[in-house]
């Protein structure tokens, strides 16, 4: 921008006759010089536009690589990468008193939606659920689609009680919203909650514990939340 402004100002001065002095007084500035100065003024702006478009393209590519293209949730690999980084970033000497929780969520009887209403309705149900989850989460929490109708949330600084309360808000909202959109075939959600009270577990342990809790929820008629503290699973 500095180059553009300075060259543009130089062009104005030469056009007004304030530049271009010779020993015999003012000498005219040729058209080629004026054109050259104009191009010199425009060049930095053109470069800036190219850099901006490149940055936008890179951001779009990063979004496509790291996020699910249907729901906008993180992809599984990106969740594991970021989640592992979050867990590993917690200094073991400072873990005490900083709980970490995981929510494993699975839409109940989702196959019935696809079989009876078609895959477009199934996609609508997935997008609607993902939006519902995000409305109940803080931006600092990691939300991902693991595949199919299974989703996961990593919550740092949230204990078992808080994570369970969030899970219940998601479960109730899903039951109400889904039935309003798809009627009796609207899928409910079963949620397994796991918590490491002191944040001293790794991500795999927490996910496995939450998956066990999810299994218990689905075994007991679905559309429910089951919570476990890490160590309760044998």
212 is catalytic: no
Task: Kindly calculate the radius of gyration of the chain based on its CA atoms and give it in whole angstroms.
Answer: 29
Characterize the bridge pairing of strands 100-107 and 189-196: antiparallel
Helix and strand totals (H; E) in the chain: 7, 7
Annotated catalytic residue within 53, 59, 149, 168: 149
**How distant, in Å, are the alpha carbons of 108, 116, 187, 193, 216 from that of 112?**
9, 6, 9, 25, 21
Tokens of 196: 């490491």
Write out the E strands in 74-177: 100-107, 142-147, 150-156
97-135 burial, b for 16+ CB within 10 Å, e for fewer? ebbbbbbbbbbbebeebeeebeeebbeebbebbbebbbe
Residues identified as active-site:
149
């Amino acid at each position: 921008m500095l180059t553009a402004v300075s060259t543009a100002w130089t062009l104005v001065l030469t056009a007004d006759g304030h530049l271009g002095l010779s020993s015999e007084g003012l000498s005219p500035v040729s058209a080629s010089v004026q054109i050259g100065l104009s191009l010199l003024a425009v060049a930095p702006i053109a470069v800036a536009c190219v850099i901006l478009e490149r940055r936008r393209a890179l951001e779009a590519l990063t979004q496509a690589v790291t996020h699910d293209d249907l729901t906008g949730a993180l992809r599984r690999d990106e969740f594991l990468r970021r989640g592992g980084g979050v867990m590993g970033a917690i200094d073991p000497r400072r873990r005490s008193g900083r709980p970490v929780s995981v929510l494993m969520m699975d839409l109940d009887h989702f196959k019935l939606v696809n079989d009876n209403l078609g895959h477009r309705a199934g996609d609508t149900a997935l997008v609607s659920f993902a939006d519902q989850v995000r409305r109940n989460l803080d931006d600092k929490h990691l939300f991902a689609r693991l595949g199919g109708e299974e989703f996961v949330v990593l919550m740092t600084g949230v204990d078992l009680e808080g994570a369970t309360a969030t899970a219940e808000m998601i479960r109730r909202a899903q039951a109400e919203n889904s039935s309003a959109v798809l009627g009796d075939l609207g899928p409910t959600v079963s949620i397994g909650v796991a918590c490491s009270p002191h944040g001293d577990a790794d991500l795999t342990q927490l996910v496995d514990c939450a998956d066990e809790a999810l299994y218990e929820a689905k075994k007991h008629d679905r559309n429910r939340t089951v919570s476990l503290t890490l160590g309760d699973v044998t």
